[in-house]
Structure 1
């Protein structure tokens, strides 16, 4: 994540960063990732919870329990302009205020995800885009949703999406050498 933020010259004073969750369990250093996420949050990033983070909050393990108060500071849904950000998705038949944490962090319905929610695009992760038939390491756009999960939790790529300029930068989590960049839209 640090390499991607450096590559795009991220500046918390002028850029709005939204992180979509799952900071723990799948990488080599969950604690280190949480430290970085906590710092980014303190600098103004919007940090959303994923299903793995929710499991950590509920854990009785000491090393996980000590992060509970930090994780509880994070939201599950963020609305910015024409976008709705969420880890997994939303149920379009319910108002946003009635969405359950388990739904927005673990949603699995492709049909529901393709619908526009109150005039907004839904930007989410949770399910790697290749499972929807997207080209390997590419984001997936369907209807009014943008899935940006390019498989980092499965040893593939971590992606950063610049919605303003419709650019995607990604990096292979195993190698961390070269940042790949492409446009969408």
Structure 2
């Protein structure tokens, strides 16, 4: 492979994702594509994005699980009220369910009634759920650590709960000082740059590279090219 291309936090933005792959002229025969999670929620086309991710994985892409996949799994595989409402009501799961053809009347549970988990079924949704449940949470190479949210700054990765790898924020990006460079999404780079208008990839002095350009919020979808560390991006 001549290049490694890293993308994160697509969030249902299929058009931007396909534009970015075209812009970098991604070729699975020569490039290693690594996707860092959060394919679903908030954007309009979660189902189609997962279809694309499955296609890319079959061609050789390395695919990780993000915290939004984590929420989706917990909501759809348990009867826990908090898990359902946390995902479907408050974190963009409604957009994901609508992309599979469900209406709000089918999955929004009123606050003033006893919770009964909505019964939703779709062959496509079931297949996608099985796919994301099998995804890894971290990739470690000779020089880099690829992860959705970050790593615990003092725990060995092998001893770290996958939940931490998908959800951690400040403790990681303020506290990490390891030798390997950690490439991650999850935290919008506007926060890392401390500039609400700067969606560019963040190159931290403590060996961290944040690439979540908050595309679904009107920012940009970033791609980090390695080993050159060139930034590619598209925006609406």
Deviates more, 1:63-72 or 1:159-168: 63-72
- Residue 140 of structure 1 corresponds to which residue in structure 2? 202
Aligned-residue offset at 1:93: 1.4
What is the rounded CA distance, in whole Å, between the counterparts of 2:29 and 2:57 in structure 1?
12
Correspondence for 2:212 among 121, 128, 149: 149
Q: Cα deviation per residue 1:58-98 (whole Å; 9 max; x = unaligned)?
A: 22253554422111231100012301000000002111111
Report 1:1-185 matches (<5 A): 1-60=17-76, 61-63=120-122, 64-110=125-171, 112=173, 115-117=176-178, 119-132=179-192, 133-134=194-195, 136-142=198-204, 143-172=206-235, 175=236
- Residue 182 of structure 1 corresponds to which residue in structure 2? none
Give the 3-state SS of the residue equivalent to 1:23 in structure 2: coil
Assess, with a 3 A threshold, how the Cα gap between structure 1 residues 87 and 26 changes in structure 2: closer, same or farther: same
CA contact (8 A) 1:114 1:145 kept: no
> Counting strand residues as a fraction of each chain, which structure ranks higher?
1
Aligned-residue offset at 1:113: 5.2
> Counting helix residues as a fraction of each chain, which structure ranks higher?
2
Query: Can you give the 5+ residue segments of structure 2 that lack an aligned partner in the other structure?
Result: 1-16, 77-119
Figure out how many residues of one structure are paired with residues of the other and give that number.
172
Q: Cα deviation per residue 1:2-61 (whole Å; 9 max; x = unaligned)?
A: 111111111111111110110000211000000001111111111011100111122225
Query: Can you give the 5+ residue segments of structure 1 that lack an aligned partner in the other structure?
Result: 176-185
CA contact (8 A) 1:122 1:146 kept: yes
List, as ranges, runs of 4+ consecutive aligned residues in structure 1 with deviation greater than 6 Å: none
Q: RCO higher in 1 or 2 (8 Å CA, sep ≥ 6)?
A: 2
Q: What is the TM-score with the length of structure 1 in the denominator?
A: 0.85
Q: What is the TM-score with the length of structure 2 in the denominator?
A: 0.68
